[in-house]
Amino acid sequence: MSVGILAHLLGKLPYRQLAEKVARHDFPYVQLALSKAISDVDFSLGKLSPGLGNEIGGAFADQGVTIAVMGCYASLITLDDEEYRHNVNRFKEHLRNARHFGATIVATEVGSPVNSANESEHWRRLDRALEELVEEAERWGVTIGLEAAQGHAIDSAESLARTIERHPSSSVWVVFDACNLLNRTNFKDRDRVISEAIRLLGPRIVSVHAKDAREQDGGVTAVAAGQGQIDYSAIWRLLEGEKPHGFVTLEGVSEEQAGSAGLFVKEGRERARREVQR
C-alpha cells in the first residue's frame, strides 16, 4: 500500500529539485499546489499551458513520482466580484491543464464566509461557481475534488453531501479529511462522526488526507498521522472496503515527521486490506 504527500510540505523549491526531494523521501505521488510548492515558475492566471504541464509533470515522472492531485485552494464564495471571477477562472485553468501535469483531480476547499448575514449569497455564489466548473470538468474529463473544512461554507459531511446532490455530475467527488470534520463540540463523538461521514460520502471519495488530531487546551489541535486520538484503524477498514488502493496523502507533517507518518499510514492500510479480504 502506498502513501503520498502534499508536495509543499517538503518546501517551496524549483520544480526539478522538488521532484528529486519527493523521490528521496520515497513518496510515489503528490498533491501539488503549484504556487505553494514551486519557486521557479510564474503561475499567475493565464500562465498555465500544456507545455508547462508537460515540463513539470515530466520532471516528476522522471523521478518516478506521479502528480495524483492538483490543489487549487481559492474561495469560491467570496463576495468580492473581482476576486470571485479570478478564483473561478483560475480553477477552470487548472481543470483545462491538469491532465498535462499527469493529474486527473483538482481539489479545493470552497472558502470561509466572512459574514453570517450573507450566508445565502455565499451559497448562491458557490452554486454558480460549481455550475461553471462542472461544465469545464466534464469538457476536459477531469474530476473536481471538494473538501470539507471547519470554518468553511462546507464544513461537514452533511453540507458536502447536500452540495453534491445539487450538482449531481460524475465529475464532482470528495477529498476526505477526517480531521476537518472535527471540532471541540463533536470531538468526543469522533468515531460516529467519521463513520457517518464515510457512509454518506464513501462512494464519492477520490482522495484522502491523512493527519491526526487531539484535544488540547479546550480545543482540537491537528498533529501528524499516528500522533493523535483518531482511530485510523477503523478509518482504513472503512475506506479499503469502499475505495481500495485509493490515493492517501499526508498533511500536517513536518519534513522530519514525514517518514514515520508515512509508515504509520502504509502499515495501517495494509492491515486493513488483509482484514477486508478475509
* CATH number assigned to the domain comprising residue 123: 3.20.20.150
pLDDT of residue 242: 85
Query: What are the residue ranges in the chain where pLDDT is below 70?
Result: 1, 116
Secondary structure (3-state) at 195: helix
List of E strands, the chain: 4-6, 29-32, 66-71, 105-108, 143-146, 172-176, 205-210, 212-216, 219-223, 247-250
pLDDT of residue 101: 98
pLDDT of residue 247: 96
Q: Cell digits for 276?
A: 477486508
pLDDT of residue 278: 79
Cα–Cα distance for residue pair 44/122, rounded to 1 Å: 25
Cα–Cα distance for residue pair 174/184, rounded to 1 Å: 24
Pairing, β 143-146 against β 105-108 = parallel
Single-letter code of the amino acid located at 42: D
Please report which helix (H) or strand (E) contains residue 20, including its range: helix 15-24
pLDDT of residue 116: 67
pLDDT of residue 240: 87
pLDDT of residue 103: 98
- Taking Cα atoms as reference points, which of 75, 90, 88 lies closest to residue 132? 88
Q: pTM for the full model?
A: 0.95
Cα–Cα distance for residue pair 152/240, rounded to 1 Å: 28
As for how many domains the chain has, the answer is 1
pLDDT of residue 239: 85
pLDDT of residue 124: 96
Digit-coded pLDDT (tens) for 21-42: 999 999 999 999 999 999 999 9
Which residues span the domain enclosing 8?
4-277
